[in-house]
Chains A and B, each alone.
Chain A
Amino acid sequence: MMEEALGWAGDGLPPGALVMIKDCVAAKGGFFLTFFLKRLLVPSNVASGRSKVVFVGMAEPFSHYGRIAKKQGCNLIQARDNGQFVFLDMMAAGNHLTSERRREQAVSPLQRLYQIVNESVKRMQTGNENDRVVIMVDDASLLEVSAGGRSDQVLAFLQYCRAINSGHNRCSVVVLVHGDTDITYGAAGLDNGGYVEHGEQRVASLAHELDHIADVVISVDPLSTGLANDVHGQVGNPNSPVPSCGI
């Protein structure tokens, strides 16, 4: 059902596409990433090719995704051993992005991350010209923190990732970003759980800028009437006229 809403042909993401998942404090969008993982690593029909995934994990460790994917029938450990899935663990202590020494280096942390991602993609190439590679980022707001607030560096990083070539096709990028960090009014933003009414004054921010360059924008919001046990939120796709279902 979600594929129809997104308008997919079923053989993986179109090359060079940028899919942006926008979430907020009250409704997290992490489940979409595991949905994409399953769809990309375990194709529904044998004829379509498998995509390869490079996952930049900044918000949760590998075990989190592994466990969820296992429940959905997708074995991430096996995919990693097959070379189909690469997990870049940014949470591990001592990694380049968060160490103090990064300030002394000439190259910015996002540039180094790009080099690592590029290498991983190159290493995954098998010579099959129709291979598709998808780079998933969880999440871009943490990239912004690593870049010290420079959202332009994050945008550049994402555009560069999109331009990496693997065989015939460019890589596609799926990125999760927090859409509620650009509110300007006061503590009321805290009281209502981060649910932003449309039309509030916004400051230009990473989510806003990504909105413009993304091919597909999926926004995850809580229900405006509050919490419910069975329905956790609503998913919207501004490109299509019909709003998506509650999940």
Chain B
Amino acid sequence: MEMKSGRSFVRKGGGGGGGGGGGGYLQAKGVRPGSHGVSLVSFGLDDVDQIIGGGIPVGSLVMIMEDNEAPHHMLLLRYFMAQGLVHSQPLFFASPLPSPQAFLGTLPAIASVRESKSRSMGPKDSSGEDELRIAWQYRRYLSEQKALEERRLRQQELTASSWAPSSSSFNHASTAGGSYEFCNDFDMRKPLERSLLIGAKCESFASGAHLGGLLDQCKDFVSKLARPPGETQTVGRLALQSLCAPQCMQTCTDWELLAFLQALKGIVRASNSVAVITFPASLLRPTMAIRWQHFADILLSVEAVLDEDKEMAGMLTDYQEIVGFLRVHKLASMNTQVPSVPDANVHTMKVVRRKKLTLERLQFAPVDATSGDSGSGSAASLLCGQPANAPSKYDF
């Protein structure tokens, strides 16, 4: 291949050219404007959307570090993929499972409207609405309070998204095809309609991953997303599960995987797509794991909770319901040099009535002052972000 001159590397035109992160916001189904000129797509779970700052920026890479003990990352992937299919966004799914198509059958369906409406009416204070048994005289103040809260919340949302509202409601938007929700409510007990699964393309690397081929497939997938400027754009979703699993590592070296990640990031950045990659970080060498982390725009990790952890049970009030923890390591800072600081680093994952995954802040039980010295291996330090046995100078 002949050597091209330096000019071929200089991007012509001011950063536009149909890619995400260009001049304006994307007008597409399921895409909402975010701050700093990036457009956002939903993760599929409104709790996760709130945690990562409104949604996944188009052109970014979300990496989720798996826990070897529990498959919670699959739960998150299910929501991500289901949301994409519901919004008719093309999906590419690669996995070490022998038949990824079968996994698509476990994607959740949209929750029926009746149930989701009742939930939006006031999940937390539905008891307060009708059943003020003791302070019944204050019932009339409750509705005022709620209206005030809602107005304040809407104010916050409007200023946070820096977007002139074209519709009154935060979660709804309308395009030519009628109104739809940015982030749908999903019900894990029912599978997604089979007709929606057509938009998904699957690839299995159970027999060893050929990275060059995988990269070419991603490139093809992404090139098909490009539309001429006049038409409505569409955002593609790439979901790569367990990328450094042993099946993958048989056929390629650490550095080849990193090169693949670098190329993938370049492809995703230059196009209207988002990628979610899960990887078992503990299977990588530490230096490699840190390099993988640097590639991520949004870095999350999932941790399983032990069955019989008495210390943890003492620390948290809702220990019995928790299935795992979601830890936020890094949030996206595209088009800005100011890093986003998450409100809380650790969130508990709970499955409510086998139907929906919820993420909540930690609820600590009151600390028992008479208990002895917690020592360096306490559950408290685990929750506060230090490794359990680190002799940190800031022991909690």
A145 touches B259 (CB 8 A): yes
The answer to whether A183 and B287 touch across the interface, beta carbons within 8 angstroms, is yes
Are B337 and A30 touching (Cβ within 8 A)?
Answer: yes
In which size bucket is the chain B interface?
35 or more
A10 to chain B, nearest CB (A): 23
Partner of A189, one of B5, B286, B341: B286
Given contacts A93-B219, A225-B394, A232-B341, A189 and B290 within 8 Å (CB-CB) = yes
B244 within 8 A of A: no
Q: How far is the CA of A123 from the CA of B333 in the complex (A)?
A: 34
The reply to whether A123 and B6 contact each other, CB–CB distance below 8 Å, is: yes
Tell which of B299, B385, B393 touches A226, judged by Cβ atoms closer than 8 Å: B385
B293→A64 contact, CB < 8 A: no
Query: B335 touches which one: A68, A101, A182, A191 (CB < 8 A)?
Result: A68
A194 touches B290 (CB 8 A): yes
B366: Cβ under 8 A from any A Cβ: no
Interface size, chain A (Cβ < 8 Å):
70
Contact (A91, B341) CB under 8 Å given A25-B290, A67-B36, A188-B390: no
Cross-chain contact A92 with B333 (CB below 8 angstroms): no
A181-198 vs B, Cβ < 8 Å mask (1 yes, 0 no): 111111111111110000
Contact B287 A232 (CB under 8 A): no
A229's closest neighbor in chain B, by CB?
B341
B204 to chain A minimum Cβ distance, whole angstroms, is 21
Query: Which residues of chain B come closer than 8 Å to A100, judged between CB atoms?
Result: 212, 215
- Please name the residue on chain A nearest to B267 by beta carbon: A93
Complex Cα spacing A187 to B384, Å = 16
* A226 to B155 Cα, complex, angstroms: 30
Interface residues, chain A, with chain B CB atoms under 8 Å away: 25-28, 30-31, 34, 58, 60-64, 66-68, 77, 80, 86-93, 95-96, 98, 100-101, 105, 112, 115-117, 119-120, 123, 141-142, 145-146, 148-149, 178, 180-194, 203, 205, 224-229, 232
Q: Which 8 A-B pairs have the closest CB atoms?
A: A63-B15, A31-B337, A91-B266, A188-B387, A191-B387, A149-B255, A98-B263, A145-B258
24 intermolecular pairs with C-beta atoms under 8 Å apart: A26-B329, A28-B333, A31-B337, A60-B334, A64-B335, A87-B10, A91-B270, A92-B266, A93-B266, A101-B1, A116-B6, A116-B9, A117-B6, A119-B5, A141-B294, A145-B255, A178-B294, A182-B287, A183-B287, A184-B286, A188-B387, A190-B65, A190-B290, A205-B287
